Amino acid sequence: MLTIGMAQISPVWLNKKETIKKIKSYITQAGQNECDLIVFGEGLLPGYPFWLSITDGARFNSTVQKEIHAHYIKNAVEIEKGDLGEICQLAKEYKLAVYLGTIERALNRGRHSLYCSLVYIDENGEIKSVHRKLQPTYEERLAWAPGDGHGLRVHELKDFTVGGLNCWENWMPLSRTALYGMGENLHIAVWPGSKHNTHDITRYIAKESRSFVVSVSGYLEKEDIPHDIPHYDKIVDNAPSILANGGSCISGPDGKWIIPPVVDKEDLIIGSIDFNRVLQERQNFDPVGHYSRPDITKLSVNRTRQSLIQITEDKE
């Protein structure tokens, strides 16, 4: 059995320091409830760029967009500088693994472009993978850069092999297949929030892969938007009362709900899953095992971390 906590919560929107405090409080709560894994939504730290669709985000050379974006960069996560250190320490203390959606300010890409990165921290408090979203969706491309395949990895967690993708890249069949081929049998899908994103694809992936699928969404109400962010008035004037309504859920490997989508509340939703169910459902279908034909179709995966420069130093 594996006990999973789905942290369907709002960030302290666009505030890295305060959002880390909130994340730590939910990790503590999950640890006290003896969870083996806690999952947070897409880009939760420090928040999803909801302003883009409600403040004319595509307007070129806009002072408004530049100032909000600069604030976003300053509150993004710098992993190499230890921004996740306290979170890692807490994971180690409670011996639980963490999947955390972040906005990453990447050192190896100059520190000024942002990536929607899903970070896996193991039960020993070590960062084992940072998956940069392969293809930002629609207006997200105004804030986020496309990632690479370096983070397409799976991890052993008790009897399970767990992997994860961000939001709409869960619709990318080859990316899913890459994780299946690495042995994934517990798939984590993280979302900014809203049931319309999770209620179909969660069960679809479960039936396709014959794996457990955990979808975790964020939650955000207009009243949660901090007053001190740039152009607060412009953002709230155009914002709906609820920007993200949740939708976190768990499907079994037969495509049936274990926990159906939970909406309209912020909560730590806890459920347990039984590994034996994976083995049962793989009896009649295994998409990368006995029901695949690698002699006919085969997938190639490039996991090289991309960077503009390669520095060669003189040998002393």
| Structure tokens given for 190 | 């993280």
- Could you list the residue range(s) of the whole structural domain that residue 175 is in? 2-281
- The CATH number of residue 188's host domain is 3.60.110.10
- Tens-digit pLDDT string for the chain (316 aa): 999 999 999 999 999 999 999 999 999 999 999 999 999 999 999 999 999 999 999 999 999 999 999 999 999 999 999 999 999 999 999 999 999 999 999 999 999 999 999 999 999 999 999 999 999 999 999 999 999 999 999 999 999 999 999 999 999 999 999 999 999 999 999 999 999 999 999 999 999 999 999 999 999 999 999 999 999 999 999 999 999 999 999 999 999 999 999 999 999 999 999 999 999 999 999 999 999 999 999 999 999 999 999 889 988 7
291 domain-assigned: no
DSSP code for 81: G
The per-residue pLDDT for 315 is 81
The total of other beta-carbon atoms located within 10 Å of residue 227's CB is: 7
Total structural domains within the chain: 1
Q: Among 265, 292, 234, 285, which residue's Cα sits nearest to residue 57?
A: 234
Q: What global pTM score does this model have?
A: 0.96
186 domain-assigned: yes
68 CB-contact burial (10 Å; exposed 0-12 / middle 13-18 / buried 19+): buried
296 domain-assigned: no
Which residues are within 8 A (CB) of 80 and not within 5 positions of it... i.e. 6 or more apart?
107
Task: Say which amino acid occupies 32.
Answer: Q
Cβ 69 vs Cβ 114: under 8 Å: no
21 domain-assigned: yes
The per-residue pLDDT for 314 is 85
The per-residue pLDDT for 205 is 98
307 domain-assigned: no
106 domain-assigned: yes
297 domain-assigned: no
The per-residue pLDDT for 129 is 98
97 domain-assigned: yes
